Chain A
């Protein structure tokens, strides 16, 4: 039923996350908690002249939250905070199962998490990084 949902993209980002590290030079950080499992995640960004130039995350979590956050950082580094915010909105749309094919393309690898929309129990895991990013950007834009 949900087996192929742990696809290679998700597994790879979980086992080898590129952005799981501290970021001492971060200009802003924010923390997110998933109350259903107690997982905590911190997101760190460097925003320089209206571009997200660097980003990282720290904390523990399930494969879904870790991979989702790692993929998210891949996607938003190099973009403006406004564009990152739009991508957050698109990701939410995908998770609630309302996204169009064209919009899905914009999400690139994050599209690998599309099947989460059929797994209500894991939505909070997939959204953890993105919600944390949304709060962080709302405060710093």
Chain B
């Protein structure tokens, strides 16, 4: 595996040549090419898009709309009218709750949410339920993180209006059976919201194949800048939804008393938009396409397998989720007996290795699994075998360094 080839695309490794970065699920690093694309936009094409009746504003508008087209192609949406730029996954999901949710969900209706959802795909629904009097229900998974078709069928009722599920869980790394679940939900008249934050950088996504009604993801977990995210929504649903934020750019005509709203997707993009971020996201998608998901998936699969097998040989390690390494998409969550995850993380940090420790914004899941908190290593294709070796090497020493087995 020639990893130098990819690490050299990422300037962080020039500043910190020995960095072992295994917190990609929190945010990825950014390649020079993305940073350059953002710089070039601000240097050469910057003006307020849509507003100006001059050339530079047109150039800026084109840069933004080209990025939208790139995103459309990346997730296989039918139309650019279905691609809304947001700040991140969290904002995309809140947008749905505030607009679709408030317009369509009433007292007595039910919202079904997977127990392993990130707080970003849980709190908007919890809040919506509180505000409308709807009932929030949880779909529970097996200990290995799997959701069964039968459990879903049992959980759906004639009142279930909306089902929220991550394509890949940020704790289990498990890829869910989105297509099957979507078909079942649709035959029940239930709308499906899919959180793609942990999937889009690891596997090819086609929203038509998945069949989902809404799909949310963040740029910063897929090599693009922070502050740009995407909401995909089926056009017929978006068309009927009320706007989210009100202000400039999202209107057609305004009088003292009233306003009519802009066409899709601008109806949902109030105020001056993040053109630099969108341009960076477009560049990141082109970078990913240049490498290819076949390469990305194969590298991540090999690294995961290597880490998984070595971790299984270390006493006192418990891996959370499936015993099958193939089911872990880019991340492995674990506990080390006797050592609190924060201390695990601190010892890794002492050795220059970045991992995540805590509840990973999934407290209800940790409560369900009866684990206080966990540690998590998460990969990108630019990681290499040496990163995994360093990780394993430190992991083996932690209990001793914390005073055990001396």
Interface residues of A (CB under 8 A from B): 1-3, 5-6, 11-12, 14-15, 36-39, 60-64, 66, 119, 121-122, 125
Decide if B403 touches A62 in the complex (CB within 8 Å). no
Q: A134 to nearest B CB, angstroms?
A: 22
Q: Which B residues are within 8 Å of any A CB, using their own CB? A: 339-343, 346-347, 349-352, 357-359, 363, 366, 372-373, 401-404
CA of A1 to CA of B349, assembled, Å: 8
Closest to A40 in B: B372
When the two chains form their complex, are residues A36 and B346 in contact, meaning their CB atoms are under 8 A apart? no
| 14 residue pairs from A and B, CB less than 8 Å apart | A2-B346, A2-B350, A3-B401, A15-B404, A36-B358, A37-B357, A39-B373, A63-B339, A63-B340, A63-B343, A64-B342, A64-B346, A122-B342, A125-B342
In the assembled complex, which residues on chain B have CB atoms less than 8 Å from the CB atom of A12? 403
Give 4 nearest A-B pairs by CB, closest first: A62-B340, A62-B342, A11-B403, A3-B350
Question: For the complex, what is the distance from the CA of A66 to the CA of B372, rounded to whole Å?
Answer: 15
CA distance A39 to B366 in the complex (A): 12
Contact residues in A for B366 (Cβ distance below 8 Å)? 38
Say whether, besides A11-B402, A15-B403, A6 and B347 are in contact (CB < 8 Å).
Answer: yes
Which B residues are CB-close (under 8 A) to A119? 346
Cα(A119)–Cα(B346), bound, Å: 10
Q: Are A61 and B340 neighbours in the complex by a CB distance under 8 Å? A: yes
The SS class assigned to the B binding surface is mixed
Given A6-B346, A62-B342, 12 more pairs with CB closer than 8 A: A2-B349, A6-B343, A6-B347, A6-B402, A11-B403, A37-B341, A37-B358, A37-B359, A39-B340, A60-B372, A62-B340, A121-B346
Smallest Cβ-Cβ distance to A125: which chain B residue: B342
Give, as a whole number of angstroms, the nearest-CB distance from A36 to chain B. 6
Alpha-carbon distance between A119 and B293 when the two chains are bound, in angstroms: 38
Least CB distance, A57 to chain B, in whole angstroms: 15
Residues from chain A with Cβ under 8 Å of B359 in the complex: 37-38
Contacts of B372 in A (CB 8 A): 37-39, 60
Q: Given the known inter-chain contacts A1-B350, A2-B349, please indicate yes or no for A37 contacting B403, CB distance below 8 A.
A: no
Hey, which chain B residues are within 8 Å of A63, CB to CB?
339-340, 342-343, 402
A64 to chain B minimum Cβ distance, whole angstroms, is 7
> Chain B CB within 10 Å — which of A3, A5, A14, A62 has the most?
A62
Residue of B346, B350, B401 most packed against chain A (CB within 10 A): B346
Which of chain A's residues have a CB closer than 8 A to the CB of B343? 6, 62-64
Return chain B residues, CB-CB under 8 Å to A36: 358
Contacting pair A38 B373 (CB below 8 A): yes
Contact A122 B341 (CB under 8 A): no
Instruction: Among B339, B363, B402, B404, point to the contact of A38 (Cβ < 8 A).
Output: B363
- Within the complex, the shortest CB–CB distance from B400 to chain A, in Å, comes to 11
8 Å CB contact of B403 from A14, A122, A125: A14
